[in-house]
Structures are given as C-alpha cells and as structure tokens.
Amino acid sequence: MKNINLNYLFLLLVFFTFSCEESNNEATEEPNNEITDDYKLLAVSDLGEVFEIGNNTGDIENVGQIDKENNDSFLATNSLLSSEEKIYSIEYVYNPSPTNNLLIFDRQDGTSQRIPLILPSTINGDERGILALAWDNNKMIGILAENVLANNSTKHLIHIDPQNNSITELGITFNENRISSMKKIDSTLYISTWGEGFLEVDLVNNTVNNLSSINGSRIAQINNSELAIMQAVSGSIGGAKPGIIDLTNHSITDYSNGETFGLVTAFGNTIIENEIYLNLVSSNTLNLYLGILKTNFETNQNSIVEINSNTVNRNLIILDTTN
C-alpha cells in the first residue's frame, strides 16, 4: 500500500510539473501587443517650446524652452533649424529699433544663447527681417526681407556663419512673400511658398525660376532628384496633401489617396526618417487635434499616430529625431 501511494504521489508530481511548464511556456509565447517607439521626434513650436514625441505612441513631452528676449515673441516656424547639437531660430524684436536675434538652444544641456545679428549695410530697408533658414554645408542660408511688414518687399539671400555669426549677402533677390520652407541640394536652393509658386534658385548663376503650378510646404529631401512636399489644397485653409516633386521635369505626383490633412502652421520644414515622410497634422473630419502623418511613398499608404494631448501648442514643426 505504501508503494502504491508513493507511485501515485510521483505521478501527481510529474503531472503538476509538466502542467506548470506548459503554462509558463504559453505565457512567454503570447504576443506582446504593447506599442513602443522606434525613436522620438524633435519638434519646436512658434513659442520656442521644445518637445519630444514618440513616433508610434504619440506620447509628447516638453523637454526645453528656447530663451527669447521678449516672452511674447512668436518665432517664424520656417526659421527653425536643427543640427545634431543645436536648434537655431530668429527672433524679430524692437530694442528699440528692429533687431534680429539669433537664438541658439543646446540640445544636450538645454541652455540657450541670444545673439543680435549685424545685417549687411548693403541691404536697405527700415524693417529688415530674416524670414527663413536652411543649411548650406556648415553655414546657414537665410532669406532677408527689406521690410517684413510689407507685401512684395525685396528678399535677399544671405549666408550666416554660425562660428562667428557674420552675415554675407549672396547677390540674389526675389519678391515672393509667403515663404513656407526651403532645402538646398548641390548648387540649387529650392523654396516652397504657400500660394506663390515653387522657386528654384541657381546659386552659381544667381538666377531664380518660379514654377507657379507647385505650391505647398514642409519640403524634405528624398534624394538628389526628388523632394517630398505637402501640397496646398485649393479652396482649403491650411489643407494639404503629400506628394513628390520630380526636380528633373518639374512634375508632381499625388500620394494623398484623396485625403486632405490640415497644417495648423503652413510654414516650416520637416523630415524623412526610415523612408517615411513625417508631418504634424490636424483634421476636423477625423476629430484629430494633432497627429503624426506617416506617408510611405513605396506603398502609397498614409497612417496617423494621434498625439496624446489636446492642449499642446499645435503651431509646431518636426526638426529631427532623438535617441
């Protein structure tokens, strides 16, 4: 009888052990559906607020503030520019005369610098202001208006050296007003406008060509012959749709699938990351306060990650990614 009991207990122990192992195996093999971020987006608002946004979760966190001379100043979002270490922008203030402050925010320690720029005396105007910035190798290329308060004011291209903050006039002018974003590829500067055409500026021959059929914002480089753009939708205030500009034949291909998205601010650049074109958009029809629009040009698909806040300042653009 004692042997029977011992055998019975042994069988029970084996069964219990096998059952536990099977249960544990099932638990570890269950798929993990928790959404995680591959990276975070670096975004900055027109108030100088610096945010990080999870690319898949939409979690948003305020991680800094660009120091301005006037707390009430609004920064032109097309003057926001980023390097690996810094964020740059222009603040236009009166102290007491019109002044262009170069604002520099350190992405590592969150400190700020504010440097009043000395504009070239060869450029006339009572309200001279720098409207937009882009990179030209290790210098910034900027658009300086003779009068920021006047329509059709003459615009001058300038170089800003971030090492000594000196400014050089490039001898190229134009008059378009609603400069929305710009990108330099090789010796050509591409400038988008919101309703006034697409400018090709030859920096060698100092010529400006306006392609009136292309309008929009948020240009980002795909390769040396293609730019991504959020095309302005006619009849829609702030309405835009993703597309590709072929720089060789000046054609534009629509990748919207019939959808229109809202740009809260129509001014400023954006980025392409892992072959995905990224934009911050809103939509009344989708009841979307703010979200990340992801456009995959290979599959011709658009998807949106909703930002987990309905109070954050929506006048912000994507500058870069963070680790």
Supply the CATH number for residue 228's domain: 2.120.10.30
Q: Tell me, yes or no, whether 1 lies in a domain.
A: no
Positive/negative CA dihedral, 189, 195, 197, 198: positive
Residue 72 within any structural domain of the chain? yes
| pLDDT interval class at 5 (50, 70, 90) | very low
In terms of Cβ atoms closer than 10 Å to its own Cβ (0-12, 13-18, 19+), residue 134 is buried
The mean of the pLDDT values for the chain is 90
26 assigned to some structural domain:
no
Residue 5 resides in a domain = no
In a domain, 107, yes or no: yes
The per-residue pLDDT for 32 is 54
More confident residue, 166 or 235: 166
Is residue 13 assigned to a domain? no
Q: Residue 27: inside a domain, yes or no?
A: no
Residue 17 lies in a domain: no
User: pLDDT tens digits for 56-97?
Assistant: 999 999 999 999 999 999 999 999 999 999 999 999 999 899
CA distance 37 to 55: 6
pLDDT at position 8 is 37
Q: Domain containing 156: what range? A: 36-322
Give per-residue pLDDT as tens, 21-55: 333 334 334 455 788 999 999 999 999 999 999 99
**Count of domains forming the chain:** 1
The answer to whether residue 10 scores a pLDDT higher than 90 is: no
pLDDT at 4: 42
**What are the tens digits of pLDDT across the range 246-278?**
999 999 999 999 999 999 999 999 999 999 999
